[in-house]
Amino acid sequence: MSRAITTNPTTPAPAPTPTTSPPHRFPALDWRIRFGVLSLIWGFSFLLIKVGTQGFAPFQVTFGRLLFGTAVLAAALAVKRERLPRGTRTWGHLAVAAFLLNALPFSLFAYAELTIPSTLAGICNATSPLWGMALSLVALSEDRPTRVRVAGLGLGFIGVLTVLGAWQGFHGLDTKGTALALLASLSYPIGWIYVRRTLAGSGHSHLSLSGAQLLLATLQLAVVTPLFTSIPDGLPVGPLLAIVALGALGTGFAMLLQYGLVAETGPTTAQMVTYFIPVIATIAGVTLLGETLTWSTPVGAVVVLAGAALTQVGTGRRARPGRSAGAFPQEGPSDVVVAPLPPTRDVARPGTPETPAAADASTTSAWQPDAPHTPTANRHPTGAPRPSVPHHERADKS
């Protein structure tokens, strides 16, 4: 007996599941290219300062630099929809950090380059790791001296004396301008130590703190500049463009570029850019500004960089899992280290599969001084390595 086959008209047939390929993601720009771009930007910063002071007063150069740098970070904050930090205590510490890491050293370098060549300013800037180690041995109990690091410190300062031509009685050297440049380099490690003691683990993102710090530094210069300078008679195009580039590229964009490098390669690799800055600054000053060199300048610069490198020996092996040594690398590219970076965990955005619900209040920070150099982007928020992802599915990390 045949049976009629019927279908329920009220039950729609299931639609076929579409098979869609994942959207194409463009690969991130190779970190070596970004490293080279960062080295060029920071190496040319001293040339841009020199050009800027040819048309504007040093305080005006510094104010413009901070103003355009703040504008870049403000745009980044708006794109990422991040807010500035809250809390009177945090803003008070940021005001001190802004003075020590931005307003003071930027102004000192601008005044120094009125009387010294940009090449010498770039070399003086490379002494910051030496000052940083010397101060950390006194102010930071977790930094223990070793024979190699102490030897590097001594070698570095021998290099400084070589650059300055000490055996000639500093003949032909503008001592005031050189002293201002060295004081600017000393200001950075003082600011680093202050931030490590006051802002580490503040619970705010590094971008938020950086934006607030540059904003405060800009306000400080906005108050000081009218008191010590007059309105320029005109706006010379060359110096004005130099200031715009110095702020937008050398301060704002370079900072964002550096964050990406630290997250991908670790702080030790990222801070190696420090050793390229005086080389590029020297080449730029000689070829583009016609500055002259004596034999002692490049020889002394090599000795300074060798000493600075020795002061870093062993710093990457002192870390323990979960330890945060401070707000940002103890020795970085001095002239442009402009922001405290709290050592908080790297947490993915809310809504992603790997994000715990309770982690939404956490913030990210790429800087983990002396931490193991596993790229932050390759680790799960719990600390375990993430599973490998096919190349075509990786997000652009730049």
pLDDT tens column, 224-281:
999 999 998 889 999 999 999 999 999 999 989 988 888 888 777 777 888 889 889 9
H or E element in which residue 131 lies = helix 128-139
pLDDT at 297: 83
Measured CA distances, 33 to 30, 51, 247 (Å): 6, 27, 21
Cβ neighbours around 245 below 10 Å, total: 21
What's the confidence (pLDDT) of residue 298? 87
How confident is the model over 11-28, as pLDDT tens digits?
A: 455 555 554 444 444 455
The residue assigned the tokens 């080279």 is 36
Q: Could you tell me the two tokens for 172?
A: 């032909």
Distance CA 96, CA 76 (A): 23
Rounded to whole angstroms, what are the CA distances from 193 to 100, 106, 179, 189, 380? 10, 18, 22, 6, 30
What is residue 27's predicted lDDT score, i.e. its pLDDT?
52
Q: What is the DSSP string of 4-72?
A: -----TTSPPPPPPP--PPPP-PPPPPHHHHHHHHHHHHHTHHHHHHHHTTTS-HHHHHHHHHHHHHHH
Q: What's the pLDDT at 143? A: 63
118: which residues sit within 8 A by CB, 6+ positions away? 46, 47, 49, 50, 281, 284, 285, 289, 291
Residues of the chain scoring pLDDT < 70: 1-28, 140-144, 169-171, 314-398
Report helix angle 296-310 to 128-139, nearest 10.
30
What is the residue type of 7? T
Contact of 315 with 334, CB cutoff 8 Å:
no
Provide the whole-model pTM.
0.72
